[in-house]
Chain A
Amino acid sequence: MNRVLTLASFNVSQIVAERAGLFLSWALFALQFGIFGSLMSHLVQSSKVQDYFFFYGVGLMVITVFDTGSFVGRRFVERAHEGELPYYLSLPISRRGFLESQAIYGVVATLLRAGPPLIGVLAFTGRLNLLGAFFALISLTTLGLGISGIMISFSFIAFKSIDIYNAIIAGLSALLVRFSTVFYPLSFIPSFYSPIAVFSPLTYGSDLTRWVLGFDPNLLLNPILAAVVVTAIALGTLSLSAGIVDKIIEGVKAA
């Protein structure tokens, strides 16, 4: 096995070692979807949104992917502070290869965290089909990569101050989730903040995922635009991360 895959699989084995957390995240998802999703879908009665329960389920998956992407990015920063990053940077692998291994780790982490909930939501709402699930996973993992890339790109702040990094990431996360179409179609969002929602990557990720799962396209963004934006964010932020790893991050300060 080449070194990129060896490193990625070592990182993934850490998630598997922490399987209690994985099971807990699935259980929380099931609870959130089963209880709050059900309640919300009874409250939301609209002739325009035929199946809000399903709409909500996809939104919840996007939140899960966002959390996973954030986790992968934050893990990168934690590794620097806990001392793992210098070890990784001392291994015989190029900086680009190192980042590729982290991207693979991010993809697998997303699949592990969001895959079972996706299957569960599709099965529960009677929409389970292999092709839809496959493309939804691609959409979600691409979004996850973009989120990880954003978090890693901000990691240079963490090398100055972890507190400022945490504050910025918390604020950014709140904005990205709230100002997006995760739980409401864009056409329902009030005009004073719908222009802001257009800047959230989650808007494109959630609308693209809904589109591949067969949701009413009239309530969604243009799927080609959404696919282009999600892919561009993933590629752009990962390239930026590569530059940061190569040029800025030098492990921890030593004396």
Chain B
Amino acid sequence: MSLGSQLLQYLFTGITLGTIYGMVALGFNIIYSSTGIINLAQGEFVMLGGMMMIYLTTIIKLPMVVGFFLSILIVALMGALFERGAIHPLKNPSVITLIIITIAASILFKGGAMFAWGKETFALPAFSGEEPVRVLGATILPQTLWILGIMAATVVFLIFFFGFTLTGKAMRACAANRTAASLVGINVKTMVLLSFALSAAIGATAGIIIAPIALMDYNRGTMLAVKGFSVAVLGGLGSNVGAVVAGFIIGIMESLGAGFISSGYKDAIALVVLLLVLFIKPGGLLGSKEKGEFKKF
């Protein structure tokens, strides 16, 4: 393989990884924007999405399409239940308390998944065909195209939802100014519930589309959450465009690093980026400085 096609191959891998990280980061952003919470259980939503899909399609043998939407729905409900059970009942909690609650939830979800499905690693067949497509000496799996397509659809959906629907605007209003939101009659608590359900759904989507190429087990969520968090910080917490761009940056850096340096350092790269961003530009690539000053985290 020539250097050129090797580079291209790493690039494709990086884009695939980056898309997933970007989607995890989008989930972080949605909850962060409407509540100020960093939801550390975000990675668990990804894992649950993947596991649920595998369970529904390979064990219960539902058709792929049904399994896809049903898994997303179930995980979204779990997100909503988590909000109602653990976040909603608290009166005037501090943000740090809430974040610690999300850690507890993450452990609970992980434990629950291990209890339900055991410790093995599961595989999911690709959505359509396993035959790689050859491009200029590099190969792309058809699943990669699915991943890119679904990511694009998710981003378009989010842009439409937050930009053009009343509920989406109300969610942004809550993020911008809670007092004012309740003054125009928006039920802030419902919006928080919705943001948990929505970000769980997006996490689940990411888990489902990555399962055919990365496999899935109960323990997969944590690392994805760390990567997704690095991406969200690099892109500027709360910035959705930032999340997508930063996802590609970290994904590509990771696959180049694994290819040219050593795959042992693969997971360290995102963390090094996270540290560098926090040292040099804590607002992230696309986060504004002024906004950053008002953030608690």
Specify whether A and B are partners: no
Q: Which residues of B contact A (CB under 8 A)?
A: none
